[in-house]
Structure 1
Amino acid sequence: MAPVDSTGWSVSGRQRSGDLLHAGLALALLLGVWSVGGLEVSTGKINFIEAMNGSTVLLPCTYASCIGIKNLYFNWHYNDNGTLDRLCEGMIPTEGVEPRVNVFHDRVDFVGSSKGNNISILLWNITFEDGGDYICFGRNPKEKNRNHSSTFTLYVVDEMKEIDTTLTTIIVSVVGGVIGLIVLFMVIKALVKHFLCKDDEKNKECLVSSSGNDNTENGHTGAKADNKGTPKA
């Protein structure tokens, strides 16, 4: 019979409960690390671009994984009204090793590098038919084939829209004018302070010279009076 403590629980039962608790905590920790360190691909904070017909555009994409990569597979597809047209695909053996890439579109160039976790492509001489969504996909076997994708949207136009800068010009002019007035006020204040200090110095000099003259005159008058008051022998 298993020993029982004062609470009525058997010692072996408490040990099993503690083991289960430790195992649960370990599993939760592993799941947390897994969710944080999982593979992510990104087409940037601004995931769209507007470009002119006939120009060349960069379709950006980068990948990241906190636990590293091994035989990372990636590809680019164009979403043609629900049909995914494959543009290129590649595989990066490990970190720092350049990928092996196959391109399936005559106007696509792979310009990425594993040194910058970059799997971007260039699309040359775009046409209006090239407008739409481009999907960057990655899969990392090191994370049990965890995969992730991100979409970049291309808008093709015949001419770029002119940006109205009137409001910006007004704001800059007002701010510049206020700054100019502040500087002018400070310059005038400094000049006035300078001239006032000069006037104060002149007034002090006048007071000192006037006081010296009064003292000299008083001394001469006293001497004459003393001479007159001296009795003759």
Structure 2
Amino acid sequence: MASVDGTGSTLSGRLRSGDLLHAGLVVALLLGVWNVGGLELSTGKTSSIEAMNGSTVLLTCTYSSCIGIKNLYFNWHYNDNGTLIKLCEGVIRAEGVKPKVDISHNRVSFVGSSEKTDISILLWNITFEDEGQYICFARNPKEKNRNHSAIFTLYVVDQMKEVDKTLTVIIVSVLGGVIGLVIIVMVIKALVVHFLLKDDEKNKECLVSSSGNDNTENGLTGAKAENKGTPKA
């Protein structure tokens, strides 16, 4: 009986372990789905930009969430040697609703749109002191206040660097030469084919004419021979 009880308890323990394993897998799967569908921010194709002193720049930031948003809070800060200076903040009540934005900097304008999941800003009349990192932050209460941030780096220059177009010119020239050569070859080929076809037509005409003449002569000779007949006695 003792051995039976031991076996039963062992089996029960294994069942509990299996249940715990299955529960752990379910939780891990749910967490994975949650992370995949969570709030994400992006600065687009590039996370930095180089602009001239005195110009206006667009600091791009867009958000995405498979779960959706509700009362999404966002803000922009400038990192001034470790000190964060707030530029603006706002709340988007729901998808497609115009956000309520408070501007904290006199040279900043909000140009985003909740319909395009865009929370970008414009920075006017930039100076060399504006160079540095700009942090876009958002928090989504619908995802238990899940938050995310993205960094956009601005470089201010006195004049834009001239792009070396030598390689581009070489590539365009080579392509142009190749295309021109192909066109010339096609034209020459078309002319050769045209003249060859003409020669073939002339040869055919000569053959037909020659054959016709031979047949006609043979026919006349035969006719004359038949007309003569046998002379009467």
Compute the displacement of 1:72 (Å): 1.0
Hey, what's the Cα distance between the residues in 1 that align with 2:42 and 2:63?
6
Hey, what's the Cα distance between the residues in 2 that align with 1:83 and 1:94?
31
SS at match of 1:94: coil
Deviates more, 1:93-102 or 1:57-66: 93-102
- Gapped regions of structure 2 (runs ≥ 5): none
Q: Which residue does the alignment assign to 1:129? A: 129
Compute the displacement of 1:148 (Å): 0.9
Q: Which residue does the alignment assign to 1:113? A: 113
Hey, what's the Cα distance between the residues in 2 that align with 1:137 and 1:219?
105
- One-letter amino acid matched to 1:29: L
SS at match of 1:28: helix
Compute the displacement of 1:26 (Å): 2.4
Deviates more, 1:89-98 or 1:210-219: 89-98
- Which digits, 9 at most, give the CA deviation of each residue in 1:45-68, with x for residues without a partner? 211111111111110100000101
Compute the displacement of 1:171 (Å): 1.1
1:102 matches 2:102: yes
- Which digits, 9 at most, give the CA deviation of each residue in 1:2-37, with x for residues without a partner? xx9xx9798876765664454333212211211110
1:208 matches 2:208: yes
Compute the displacement of 1:147 (Å): 1.1
Question: Moved runs in structure 1, 4+ residues, more than 6 A?
Answer: 7-15
- One-letter amino acid matched to 2:69: I
SS at match of 2:147: strand
How does 1:44-193 map onto structure 2 within 5 Å? 44-193=44-193
Deviates more, 1:53-62 or 1:140-149: 140-149
Hey, what's the Cα distance between the residues in 2 that align with 1:207 and 1:42?
80
Compute the displacement of 1:168 (Å): 0.7
Hey, what's the Cα distance between the residues in 1 that align with 2:223 and 2:97?
108
Change in CA separation of 1:63 and 1:230 when aligned onto 2, cut-off 3 Å: same
SS at match of 1:66: coil
- Gapped regions of structure 1 (runs ≥ 5): none
- One-letter amino acid matched to 2:156: V
Deviates more, 1:11-20 or 1:46-55: 11-20
Deviates more, 1:160-169 or 1:53-62: 160-169
Identity %: 79
- One-letter amino acid matched to 1:131: E
TM-score normalised to the size of structure 2? 0.90
TM-score normalised to the size of structure 1? 0.90
Q: Which residue does the alignment assign to 1:232? A: 232
- One-letter amino acid matched to 2:215: N
Q: What root-mean-square deviation, in Å, do the aligned CA atoms of Structure 1 and Structure 2 show?
A: 2.2
- One-letter amino acid matched to 1:183: I
- Which digits, 9 at most, give the CA deviation of each residue in 1:177-225, with x for residues without a partner? 1101101111111121112111111110110111010011011112223
Deviates more, 1:223-232 or 1:48-57: 223-232
SS at match of 1:155: strand
Count of aligned pairs between the two proteins: 229
Hey, what's the Cα distance between the residues in 1 that align with 2:183 and 2:119?
51
SS at match of 1:170: helix
